[in-house]
Structure formats: C-alpha cells, structure tokens
Structure 1
C-alpha cells in the first residue's frame, strides 16, 4: 500500500510586535551612537561645557535597556504595552538629555516628533494618544524647568517666552495631526491587508472546489455505466418467474431499483453542477415544490415547516438541493431523532433553517465554519458537507450560519436572494 509523506506546515513568521521591538532596539543603538558623537563634538570640539558624566549615565541606561530587551526578547511575547513602555523610556531619556543641555533651546528638541511618529505607527490608538500627551508634557517641562546652557559669546542666544510658547503649540499641533492621520492610514492598510487575506483564502477554497469538482465529475462518469448495468439486471430479475412468485423478493428488487435510481439522480446532479450535459433541461418548478421534493427524496424523516406564503416560480438548482441534503445527512449523523426544515421569505430573501436535537457542533467546527475537512468525525473525507453548502450559498449570493441551541441540538440557517433562483421569462 502506497504511503504519502506528511506535509508539515511552514514555521509561523515572527510576530509583528517582536519585529517592531527589534527595530526599536536597533534605532536605540543608533540613538546612543549619535548622542555620544554629538556630546563629544559639542563638549570638546565646540568648547561648550556639558555635564558629560550625567549624560553618560543616561547613555549607559539606554545601553542596559537594549541589553535587557535583547536577553528577554526570545523568552516572552511582545505586547503593545511593552512597545509603549520602550517608547516612554526613550522619551524620558531624551527629556533628561535635553534638560542637561539647554532645554527647549536645544535644536534636538524636535526629536520628540520622532517618538510620536513611531508611536502612531507601532502602537494601538489609545497608547499613541497617550504618547502625544507624554511628549507634550515633557516638552513643556524642558521649556520651563531646564537651566540655560552656558554658551560662548559667539554662540550665545536667547529665546523669548512667547517664542517658546509658540514652539510648544507648534509641537502639540504637529503631534496631534501626525497621530490622527498616521493612525487612519495604518487602519486603512490593515483593512486592505485583511481584505486581501480573505480574498486569498476564498481563492484557495475555490481552487479546492474546482479540484473536488473534477474528481467528482470523473467519478460520476465512471459510475454511470455500472449503475445502468445494475438497473438493467434488476429489471431482468424482476421479470423472472421465481421472483414474481415471491412478494418479499419482488419488494427487495423494487427497493434496489429505487436506490439505483437515486444513485443515478445523484450522479446526474454532480454532472449538472459541473456544467456537463446530462440530457436534462433545467427543471422549472416552484420554491415550495422544490423544497418538498428534497424532503420527500431524503430517506429519513424530516418535518417541513412551510412559512413561504405565496409560492414563487424558480429554476431548480441541483447544487442547492445537494447542499440541503448534505445538511440533513449531517443532522442524522449527529444522532438527531427529530429534524426540522423551515423555509420562509423575508424581503426577497429565502431563509431556510435545518434544526435538530442531535449532539450539536463542537467549538472547533463552529470556529472554522465553512472550511474543508472541518469535522469531529474521524472517517476519511468527513467535513465537506458544511464546506460545500457554504460555497454553494456564496455562489448564489447567500450566506450560511450555524449555532448550537440552548436546549441541545443545532441549527444551520441558509439565506439567499430569491432572485438567484427566480424563473425569468424572455
């Protein structure tokens, strides 16, 4: 017997928050290097006296923060709060450095905007706005409380309080606008990515359906000949005198003929759904007759609750009929003793529900509703009923929902526009 190798899923990509934290660590290393170079240039190159020791302590704290982050990163997941805390640490370090080097008169005060932009891109909305408040407060602190830097005469300058106030207002306005628009742009990008992911998932499911359809139509072709042969043989058996004399044997032959005709009808439905010619014209019927025919053809017992009101002419959709049959089969396989099919019309929408008193759906099946091979049954090929029904409804412009009932059992609700089945006349 041939064996098939087990395909392991590809390793999950690194979490986006972890990648963002790694970028923050890299940016902090660049900031440490830049600050170190700037302090040395200003203090020793330009002759401006800076408190080098306290500023070096701040740089050492940033280095220690980076080392601790690097050591802890592989062992714990990165959350939004941790990213927020890392950015707040950077803001505090920048505030201390500015306080030690002239406050708002320091040209590097605009680096607060860099923290705001990173927060808008990396953080959730509430933490982005919190960072705006923190940086605005830090800007105000360095503007009001920082001692002036002792500059050489050729570099000495002074900023009026009105200018400092205008500078702070300009910062707050720029920070608010940045967060407002960057967060909206990020939300639009996330929405686009989610839509693309859904489209890729749908394309993969439709490709799966195509492959299943090719397999099913091939099997239908292969089954057509033996089913026809069996039907001819049963007809010959029925005319045999020995069988005609035995009512029990004659009844069994009649039952076998009925089952063979049902198999042939299923095969014809598969070929019809695959778009192949089966010698049958599309069946014109009504919605009520279509549903009662499905209930009558199903081998089990189903209670049909008719809430349709006025009947509507339709073209029978074999795929929809097979989808409803699959749902009835699922209910029976779940151990249901009572199955109810309810149908009604609500504002041009056909609403059909299949309720049962069986074991219901597992949480895993409900969480992955509509995906192939999503089933609690262990047999091979299980889990295709809801998958096929979902895609049939989607093709017709409808939806499928499933839930467990509070008193036991489950309910599957199908909704589709009556226009997708309506009989149009030229």
Structure 2
C-alpha cells in the first residue's frame, strides 16, 4: 500500500494544529461573537461539546504517534472532528449558522491525507447532518421580515453539497497525482543511486583487474620455472597450476565481459545452449557441488526458444549458483543446489530457478537484496546487486523468495525472443 501523507508525525502535528485552531474558533464565536453573527446558542450542551472536544484534543496530542501510525487512526480522528463540528453547529443555530461551511475542513484534510474513500465517507456524514439540520430549523428563522427563507437555506445546502463534491474529487485527484509523481521520483532516485553504485563497483573492478594482471603473469613465470627445476609435476604444483589457470581464465572473462558491455554486444542464444554452458561451467569450477537439474518442460520446446545474452549473463547466473552452494554448505555441510527450468503458460518467458538448502533470507532483507548495497558478511549484497544489474540490462527479471520447505529460491525470468527479434539481433551481430 502506498504510504500516505497522514502517516507521518509532521502531518499529525499539522492536523493537531488545525484542530486546535478550530477549537479556539468555536470558543471565540461562542463566547464573544454570538450576537454579532446571530448565533442561537444552547449553552449547556455547547459547554459539554467543548469540554469533550478539549479532552479529545489533549488525547490526540499525547497519542499522536500510535494514533497516526495507520490511515485508519487518522480517519477515525477526522470523523470525530466532523461529529464535534456537527454538534457545535447544531447547538449554535444549526442550518442558520453562518459558519456551516466549516464542515468542509475535515473533508479537505481527508482528501489530502487519506485514500479516496475517506473524503467521500466524510462528505456523506456531513451532508446527512446538514440535511437533518435543514429539516429541524424552527419556524421563526424560516420567516425573516416577512420573507420565506426556506429557499435560501435550501440554496445554502445545495452550495455546500457542490463544494464538498468538488473538493472531494478535485483535491483527491490532485493529491493522488502528486503521490504518483513522488513515487516515480523516489524510484528514479533509487535507480540513480543503484547506477552510481554499479559505476563505482565497475571502476573498482576494472582497476583491480588491471592490477592483478601483473602479479598473475609473475606467478605464471615462477610456476613454469618451478616445474622446470623440479623436473616432475608434483600434486602441489598441479594444484597451483589449476588455481592459477582459473584465475587467468576469470580475468580473461572479465576483460571480455567489460568489452562486451562497453560495445553493447548482445546476441540471441538458444536456451538449451545456455544450459549446456552452465553445466560445463559448474563441472569445471564447482566439481564438489551436487547440482540436481530439473526440466519441467520438454527439450524440444526449450531448443526452439532464444533469449538475449552478452558476456555478463553466465557470470551473473554462476554467482547465484555459488551463493546457493555456499548457503547449503553452511546448513547441510555439503553443497547441494537444485536448478529447474520451466516455460510460462503464455510461452513468452522461461523461468530458471536456483534453490539452496540454507536458512533462508530475512523477510526484511528480501526487497533490498539485488537493488541496493547492504552490509553482508557473506557477500550476498554485491553479488546479487551485480547479477540483478546484468539480468535487468538483458531484459530479464530476478525474484528472490524463501522456499516453504527451507532455503531460498532465486527465480530468473527470461523474455523469449520472437522470430523477428532473433533475425534483427543476428543481423546486428
């Protein structure tokens, strides 16, 4: 639900200030200006109304934080304000009171601070009360210097209804538009912040990759010299050779991915080819991980569908698989990951789901992971941020959720390319 203006303490203080001014106005009119404005006062019930209203004002000032935490609290408060105004008007002349238009004040506040149903409800309450006041006007005020005032009071009632309807519709629509614009601005600011973080990460990664190139070259020369001097390849040397080769391969992929992103080299790829590449990658880089591949659709359907890819797609998916393996290892002691593929009922999307058997993710962190950098000792924040950015650039969507039986599910939704898109993309490549 969209956060409303009335849920903030600032708005609560503003409403309390208006309520205080309204109470002072009632006291001033009752005490000093009744004769000036021709108010027909019934003092005993008016005193009771003003005392109750003062107590209500004190209560709202003391409990404004819990009271305005939800929109229902503000609506109840404005409803009581409306009833207090109705009571004061009723005991100070009713429909003949020149200040009957003050019933519009709670309606205006509701139109600005609450959803559209709230001002409509207050309009209905105020109109009903005003109508009852019209029918209960004594006979003497209806006759003024021999003139029939009933048509005048009816015109005032009609003017009040029109004013309330205009305020309810126009102010509410303007406020709704402003809230939508505020939400769009907040979304744009979030996107700009995310882009700035990605730019900073990309710059740091490029600098580190450049700095790593020289030490890796030195290690390669030292390892070759060690192999020549030892004469035979021991298990330790072979393990060093494998680790160094993996570092060199990762650095080369980083360079290719950087060039691909910079030059915007995107191409269509059959989804089954992507899956074959992922299987080879996991066997090469994650041999200790138990991966269960689940295909809920036929291989023929999968072979006919292509998605948009570049050099950053496979590393993004591999980062998610590595996170899943790490989470399962911390809980089960073994790296166990389930990877399933399915096609949407409309057949315009392909779902790739990666499930781990870890402890899951705190619900409060789920909306933030993948969109903002967060403090995480496990490194999930940066990995998911980069994966989310890479997938989003390719038109894919990353959705994180906790599995009902434990663990986390990372679902990637790929948009399937149509025949025309595939042809145009292949031509551009």
Scaled by the length of structure 2, the TM-score of the pair is 0.78
* Aligned residue in 1 for 2:149: 159
How far is 1:15 from its partner? 7.5
Q: 1:243 aligns with which of 206, 223, 231?
A: 231
Distance 1:393 1:170, change over 3 A: same
* Aligned residue in 2 for 1:190: 179
* C-alpha distance in 2 between matches for 1:23 and 1:136: 25
Preserved CA contact (<8 Å) 2:127 2:161:
yes
How far is 1:126 from its partner? 3.7
* C-alpha distance in 2 between matches for 1:285 and 1:252: 39
Aligned ranges 1:2-81 → 2 under 5 Å: 16-39=7-30, 42-45=33-36, 50-51=41-42, 55=46, 58-73=49-64, 78-81=69-72
2:251 is the counterpart of 1:267: yes
2:208 is the counterpart of 1:208: no
Tell me, which stretches of 5 or more residues in structure 1 are unaligned? Answer: 1-13
Q: 1:318 aligns with which of 311, 335, 344?
A: 311
Tell me, which stretches of 5 or more residues in structure 2 are unaligned? Answer: 330-334
* C-alpha distance in 1 between matches for 2:307 and 2:39: 89
Alpha-carbon displacement from aligned partner over 1:359-394 (angstroms, at most 9, x marks no partner): 44343443433144557x635x44322222111111
Which moves more between the two structures, 82-91 or 44-53? 44-53
Distance 1:262 1:106, change over 3 A: same
Distance 1:121 1:393, change over 3 A: same
* C-alpha distance in 1 between matches for 2:328 and 2:95: 75
* C-alpha distance in 2 between matches for 1:33 and 1:283: 71
How far is 1:219 from its partner? 0.8
* Aligned residue in 1 for 2:426: 424
* Aligned residue in 1 for 2:87: 96
| Count of aligned pairs | 402
Alpha-carbon displacement from aligned partner over 1:99-147 (angstroms, at most 9, x marks no partner): 3343223332222223322222223444333212211121022212244
* Aligned residue in 2 for 1:414: 412
Distance 1:373 1:303, change over 3 A: same
SS of structure 2 residue aligned to 1:195: helix
* C-alpha distance in 2 between matches for 1:390 and 1:219: 22
SS of structure 1 residue aligned to 2:328: coil
* Aligned residue in 1 for 2:332: none
Preserved CA contact (<8 Å) 1:103 1:147:
no
* Aligned residue in 2 for 1:127: 118
SS of structure 1 residue aligned to 2:385: helix
2:101 is the counterpart of 1:110: yes
* Aligned residue in 1 for 2:241: 257
Alpha-carbon displacement from aligned partner over 1:154-199 (angstroms, at most 9, x marks no partner): 7x85422x55445434533442443234333333322222222122
How far is 1:257 from its partner? 2.5
* Aligned residue in 2 for 1:386: 384
Preserved CA contact (<8 Å) 1:95 1:142:
no
Preserved CA contact (<8 Å) 1:358 1:409:
yes
Distance 1:54 1:322, change over 3 A: same
SS of structure 2 residue aligned to 1:95: helix
* C-alpha distance in 2 between matches for 1:344 and 1:167: 66
* C-alpha distance in 2 between matches for 1:39 and 1:384: 66
* Aligned residue in 2 for 1:368: 368
Preserved CA contact (<8 Å) 2:104 2:164:
yes
Preserved CA contact (<8 Å) 2:308 2:394:
no
How far is 1:21 from its partner? 2.9
Which moves more between the two structures, 130-139 or 408-417? 408-417
Scaled by the length of structure 1, the TM-score of the pair is 0.78
* C-alpha distance in 2 between matches for 1:255 and 1:331: 25
SS of structure 1 residue aligned to 2:231: helix
* C-alpha distance in 1 between matches for 2:131 and 2:307: 73
Preserved CA contact (<8 Å) 2:60 2:67:
no
Q: 1:142 aligns with which of 133, 138, 150?
A: 133
